[in-house]
Chains A and B, each alone.
Chain A
Amino acid sequence: AQSVTQLDSHVSVSEGTPVLLRCNYSSSYSPSLFWYVQHPNKGLQLLLKYTSAATLVKGINGFEAEFKKSETSFHLTKPSAHMSDAAEYFCVASPRAGKSTFGDGTTLTVKP
């Protein structure tokens, strides 16, 4: 069994300041972990994925995430927020076979 917990349902930052979206997972094995972004009335777009090759993963649009096994965390960061980053973000754990487990999502607001 696996579970994904996104620790903040809403995060608000000012444009140009760092972004931190937190995700903890629980699994009886080492799953693949993903971050997706969803803009209003759109599907989810893959930001980045962790598949055990490297603990620090770089994604699109300047986002990156670090896998920390000891903390069972996979937090998403970006050094400087842009207005276009405002969206909902989902942390997802996927086994090799079987359905993916989604976090409840974090809504990111970027203030000018």
Chain B
Amino acid sequence: KAGVTQTPRYLIKTRGQQVTLSCSPISGHRSVSWYQQTPGQGLQFLFEYFSETQRNKGNFPGRFSGRQFSNSRSEMNVSTLELGDSALYLCASSLGTGTENSPLHFGNGTRLTVT
């Protein structure tokens, strides 16, 4: 089974621009979660999608948004980029139905640098 795939692997953007990151989950997984990882703040939860609906949301401004498609693939978008948005963005997928203790499976992340 293919693992979680995140594209692109690296991205360099300028302040004020917007960016879209993509995540393809493991086949059969319906839940996709997004995390921001920085040296100062550690791992922070952004949001989780399940069956095309946002099920949970972290404490991030509205500039951060996401969506999930019918094939469970997910995208996250960051608008009006700030220097502080530079981070490793991790996507994780799981079965997500809540009836089993399904672990998260992570992609290798997208390294976003904002200059």
Chain A residues proximal to chain B, CB less than 8 Å: 32, 34, 36, 41-46, 49, 51, 90, 92, 94, 96-100, 102, 104-105
Interface band, chain B: 20 to 34
Do A49 and B106 contact each other (CB < 8 Å), given the known contacts A43-B4, A99-B48, A104-B42? no
Q: Which of B4, B43, B92 has the largest number of chain A CB atoms within 10 A? A: B43
B106 and A96 within 8 A (CB): no
* Highest count of chain B CB atoms <10 Å: which of A42, A92, A104: A42
Q: How far is the CB of B29 from chain A (nearest CB, A)?
A: 14
A3→B6 CA distance, assembly (Å):
28
A42 x B99 contact (CB < 8 A): no
Given contacts A43-B90, A44-B104, contact A105 B42 (CB under 8 A): yes
A47's nearest neighbour on chain B, judged by CB, is B103
Within B1-41, which residues are at the interface with A (CB < 8 Å)? 4, 6, 33
Q: How far is the CA of A105 from the CA of B88 in the complex (A)?
A: 15
A43 to B25, CA, bound (A): 13
